[in-house]
Structure 1
Amino acid sequence: MQTNLRGRDFIGDTDWTREEIETALDVAFDLKRMRALNLPHAYLRDKVLAMLFFFTSTRTRGSFEAGMAQLGGHAAFIESQTTQISHGDTAKEIGEIYGRYFDGIAIRQCDWNFGNKYLREVAAASRSPVLNMQCDVYHPFQILADLMTIMEKKGKDLRRKKIAVSWAYAASYVKPISVPQSLIIQMSRFGMDVVLAHPPEYKLMPHLLQEAQDNAKRYGGSFSITHDMDEAFTDADVVYPKSWGCLLTTEDGKQAAEIAKKYTNWITDDRRMALAKDDAIYMHCLPADRNIEVTDSVIDGPQSVVYDEAENRLHAQKAIMALTMS
């Protein structure tokens, strides 16, 4: 267990070592037990978190606000379009000033080729820790909650458990690639057999693919890529299909929509779930495009753990806040 995490940023999945992630998970499980037993755990009394959103949110905002209140502190919701941030406040200015007002700065900025750079610029200027509520490259809190959920369902030793991280069709909007990227990086650090499935146009960042491959070698799992969704699902212990944009192929929205139309059959239905192990779990970070990405029978079915997964966002985020902001 690591005990030197005060003041640390949490921006990329590998900013923290595996041992440090295991510390965060230990704390998250403890905080979940405390909440279940209605035991007070105001470790951040009088602390204040700035929550800066450039991108809409349901679970992220709710879980951070509730988490700070349960830890005895306060979370301030700040929307970029209703502040001077939209009229010229720079990343350095936000870091310098909000780092003095607040005990932590949590940011969701998913703009392609900009979000992660913005977070790093704020962090470089801030005296308070910067926490990544999702950017264009990573979604570390979501994947920490996912790890927690898989451990609850499959045990804490995840070595050689197969997880299918698959693209799925969605018509709503071009979604960031941060969730699948964080998944392949973090799950490979825990020795899982990670299979990434996507149509050819929906590739992820090459350096992160290499990082997942290196993790697999180091931690005793495997990492492979397929363009066949059925192949990925076959004999999987965990399936995690969701939509993401073909941003490395094109940044043109109309062209992206035309590409997506070729793959409307990339949906998670009962037939595909039957390819996985009988006790496989279905995961999704939500919101899912129902009956487009996934059928109601799967997301509402007995193998779905999406609500436990969503709940664990609360506990995982509280753990990181307690460790970094105390």
Structure 2
Amino acid sequence: MNKLRHFVSLLDLSSSELRGLIARAIELKNHRDPNYQPLKGQLLAMVFEKSSTRTRISFEAGMAHFGGSALFLSPRDTQLGRGEPLRDSAKVISSMVDCIMLRTDKHETVTTFAEHSSVPVINGLTDQEHPCQLLADMQTYFELRGDIQGKTVAWIGDGNNMCHSYIHAASLLDFTLHIASPAGYEPQAAYVDAAGARIKCFAKPLDAAQGADLVVTDVWASMGQEEEQAQRVAAFKDYQVDRQVMQAAKADALFMHCLPAHRGEEVSAEVIDGPQSVVFPEAKNRLHAQKALLEFLLCQK
């Protein structure tokens, strides 16, 4: 019997497995075979505590392409929102489906589900990490620029879940990550320390972007942080990715953003709608990366 695999963190993969997933996502994108339905008859339960566009569509469409189906569950419609212990929910849901994907607030929700689930559990986003987005981001870079090993990525802005997953990607794919965050909004020290010399922290975006091959940012206030909006706008006002920041990077540098974006805040309209921006190919690649992940978790020989 195969060992049960989860995708709670990017670090659940080895370096070679991550590169293999990226390559497979590109292959699935370029050579779609409608008759290839490896997940026929299989069911993915999708638990959403946070609203979603790209995550929901990519997993639902991916399962449909592979001949399976997806079930949307929200706390409003299930006992999850009424205080049923997570371990009980995990045991019950996993007894009826073939895989569970959760997009939730607390990282512990996903780790608890993984601990008590009898089927693979996927982290569709938590307050700590967003590994599925990194699969799509890295696929996009590999498609357009080749292997990211030895390159420099600049993260500008909040040291949030996306930043944490970029730190993991730097470790697995062997690139240097420059991080520029305002004081008080840096990534958690445990993530930075574990990645060692690959991570370099800067006070100013221009310094972090110097010579970068890829520049990435995210919203100043994520879902659930709306009450901090005014405070965050003040803290992040000098952390916009604008033309000046992109000019500090290499001439062929790419710009990425996981979306949704707020033009005029974390990124200027000139950059996100400009020639270096690949945010829409990046978003589209969520579908292909998710399909590669589902195949990896559910079709192990």
TM range (shorter): over 0.9
**Deviation readout 1:160-203 (Å, 9 max, x if unpaired):** 211101106xxxxxxx9211100112123212121011111111
Q: Distance in 1 between matches of 2:254 and 2:276?
A: 5
Superposed CA deviations along residues 85-111 of structure 1, whole A, max 9, x for unmatched, are 11122211111111111000000112x
Look up the SS of the partner of 2:133 in the other structure. Answer: helix
- Would you say the 8 A contact 1:99–1:127 is kept in 2? yes
1:267-282 correspondence to structure 2 within 5 Å: 267-282=240-255
| Alpha-carbon distance in structure 2 between the residues aligned to 1:39 and 1:6 | 29
Structure 1 portions without partners, runs of 5+: 169-175, 217-221
Asked whether the equivalents of residues 220 and 266 of structure 2 are also in contact (C-alpha less than 8 Å), the reply is no
CA 129–275 in structure 1, closer or farther in 2 if over 3 Å, else same: same
Specify the code of the residue in structure 2 equivalent to 1:14: L
AA matched with 2:121: V
Deviation at 1:314, TM superposition (A): 0.8
1:140 partnered with 2:131: yes
Q: State the Cα distance separating 1:270 from its structure 2 match.
A: 1.7
| 2:27 matched residue in structure 1 | 30
1:233 to 193, 209, 214: 209
Deviations 1:136-182 (A, max 9, x none): 111111011111111112112x23211101106xxxxxxx9211100
Give, in whole Å, the separation in 1 of the partners of 2:221 and 2:248.
26
Aligned to 1:126: 117
Gaps of 5+ in 2: none
Corresponding position of 1:85: 80
C-alpha contact 2:254 2:277 (8 A) present in aligned 1: yes
Superposition deviation, residue 265 in structure 1: 2.8
Matched, 1:98 2:74: no
User: Which residue does the alignment assign to 1:190?
Assistant: 173
* Structure 2 residue 184 is matched with structure 1 residue 161: no
Distance 1:252 1:244 in 2: 9
- Check conservation: 2:217, 2:256, Cα contact below 8 A: yes
Q: Structure 1: which 4+ aligned runs deviate by more than 4 Å?
A: 251-256
CA positional deviation for 1:40: 2.9
Partner Cα distance (1:140, 1:255) in 2: 25
Instruction: Give the 5 Å matches for 1:1-326.
Output: 7-35=4-32, 38-110=33-105, 115-156=106-147, 158-167=148-157, 177-213=160-196, 216=197, 222-244=198-220, 257-258=230-231, 260-326=233-299
The letter of the residue matching 1:207 is A
AA matched with 1:134: L
Q: CA RMSD in A?
A: 2.1
Q: Secondary structure at the match of 1:324?
A: helix
Partner-residue secondary structure (3-state), 2:125: strand
Q: Which moved more, 1:124-133 or 1:75-84?
A: 75-84
Distance in 2 between the 1:283 and 1:126 partners? 34
Deviation at 1:34, TM superposition (A): 2.1
Cα distance 1:141–1:5, how it changes in 2: closer, same or farther (>3 A)?
Answer: farther
The 8 Å contact of residues 26 and 143 in structure 2, kept in 1 or not, is answered as: no
For the 8 Å contact 1:240–1:283, the answer to whether it is kept is yes
In 2, distance between residues paired with 1:297 and 1:276? 16
The TM-score normalised by the length of structure 2 is 0.92
Residue 123 of structure 1 aligns with an amino acid whose one-letter code is A
| Residue 122 of structure 1: how far off its partner (Å) | 1.2
Amino acid at match of 1:180: C
Contact 1:202/1:244 (<8 A) preserved: no
Tell me the CA shift for residue 304 of structure 1.
0.4
Change in CA separation of 1:252 and 1:153 when aligned onto 2, cut-off 3 Å:
closer
Letter in 2 for 1:313: R
CA contact (8 A) 1:95 1:125 kept: yes
- Superposition TM-score, scaled by structure 1 size: 0.86
Show CA shifts across 1:60-91 (max 9, x none): 00111100000110011111122221112221
Conserved in 1, the CA contact under 8 Å of 2:45 and 2:71?
A: yes
CA drift of 1:262 comes to: 3.6
Q: Secondary structure at the match of 2:162?
A: helix
Verify the 8 A CA contact 1:177 1:244 in the aligned structure 2.
no
